[in-house]
C-alpha cells in the first residue's frame, strides 16, 4: 500500500490506521461470498475497528458527551460568532464549523460557556455595544444596527432588560466625571 510507505512503521497513529484497515478488510472478506457470509464475524470486525478509531481520537478534539467543546472548537466559535455580531447567525452554522450536530453542539456549548449559544451571543452584542456607547459619540440607533438589533427601540428594550438602565443613561453615567 502506498500510504503505509509514507509514515514510519513505529508511528502509533500509523499502526492504528493499519490495524483498522486490516479489520475492515476482514469484514469485507466476510461479506464477499454472499452465500457463506458470516455476518457476526463481519459485525465483530467493524466494531473492533470503530473501538480502535474512537480510542485513538479521544483527546484529539473528540469529546465525550457533557464535557464541552474542544479548545479548537471554542476558538472557532468565538472567531465566527464575534466576527458577525451585526448579522444573524444560525446555531447550525456554528455546529457545522465545529463538525458537530446541532443538538450535540448546543449541549457542549452550554457545558463550556454556561449559557445557550443564543444567550451568549446576545450578551456579547450588548457587551460590545456598551464599549461603543462609552468610547464613541455615535447615535444610539447606529450602534443598535451595528450590533444586529432591528432598531433603537429593540436595542433599548434588550439593553434595559440586561443592564437595568437605558443605553442613554448608561452613556451619560459612564461619561460623567
Average pLDDT value for residue range 136-163:
92
pLDDT for 56:
59
pLDDT for 73:
94
How many Å apart are CA 81 and CA 60, to the nearest integer? Answer: 23
Q: What is the pLDDT of residues 94-149, one digit of tens each?
A: 999 999 999 999 999 999 999 999 999 999 999 999 999 999 999 999 999 999 89
Whole-structure pTM over 0.75, yes or no? no
Half-sphere exposure of 144 (CA within 13 A, CB side): 17
Average pLDDT value for residue range 73-102:
91
Grid coordinates of 81: 460568532
Lowest mean pLDDT, pick from 37-46, 83-92, 101-110, 139-148: 37-46
Per-residue pLDDT at 54 exceeds 90: no
Could you tell me the pLDDT band of residue 85, with boundaries at 50, 70 and 90?
Answer: confident
Q: Are 95 and 102 in contact (CB under 8 A)?
A: yes
How many Å apart are CA 155 and CA 173, to the nearest integer? Answer: 18
Average pLDDT value for residue range 59-65:
48
Q: Which residues are CB-contacts of 93 (< 8 A; sequence separation ≥ 6)?
A: 80
Fold for the domain defined by 71-114 = Arc Repressor Mutant, subunit A (1.10.10)
Percentage of the chain modeled with pLDDT above 70 = 79
Per-residue pLDDT at 6 exceeds 50: no
| Residue boundaries of the structural domains of the chain | 2-57, 71-114, 119-175
* Of 57 and 133, the one with more pLDDT: 133
Per-residue pLDDT at 26 exceeds 60: yes
Tell me how crowded residue 18 is: count the other CB atoms within 10 A of its CB.
Answer: 16
How many Å apart are CA 24 and CA 120, to the nearest integer? Answer: 43
Tell me whether the CATH fold assigned to 71-114 matches the one assigned to 119-175: yes
Per-residue pLDDT at 61 exceeds 50: no
Task: Write down the CATH superfamily of domain 119-175.
Answer: Homeodomain-like (1.10.10.60)
Amino acid at each position: 500500500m502506498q500510504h503505509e510507505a509514507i509514515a514510519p512503521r513505529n508511528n502509533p497513529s500509523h499502526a492504528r490506521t493499519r490495524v483498522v484497515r486490516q479489520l475492515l478488510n476482514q469484514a469485507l472478506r466476510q461479506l464477499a461470498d454472499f452465500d457463506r457470509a458470516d455476518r457476526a464475524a463481519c459485525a465483530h470486525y467493524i466494531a473492533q475497528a470503530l473501538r480502535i478509531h474512537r480510542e485513538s481520537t479521544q483527546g484529539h478534539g473528540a469529546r465525550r458527551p457533557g464535557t464541552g467543546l474542544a479548545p479548537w472548537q471554542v476558538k472557532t466559535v468565538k472567531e465566527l460568532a464575534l466576527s458577525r455580531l451585526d448579522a444573524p447567525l444560525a446555531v447550525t452554522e456554528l455546529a457545522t464549523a465545529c463538525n458537530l450536530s446541532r443538538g450535540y453542539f448546543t449541549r457542549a456549548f452550554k457545558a463550556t460557556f454556561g449559557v445557550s449559544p443564543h444567550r451568549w451571543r446576545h450578551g456579547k452584542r450588548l457587551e460590545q455595544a456598551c464599549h461603543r456607547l462609552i468610547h464613541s459619540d455615535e447615535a444610539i440607533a447606529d450602534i443598535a444596527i451595528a450590533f444586529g438589533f432591528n432598531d433603537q427601540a429593540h436595542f433599548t428594550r434588550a439593553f434595559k432588560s440586561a443592564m437595568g438602565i437605558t443605553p442613554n443613561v448608561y452613556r451619560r453615567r459612564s461619561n460623567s466625571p
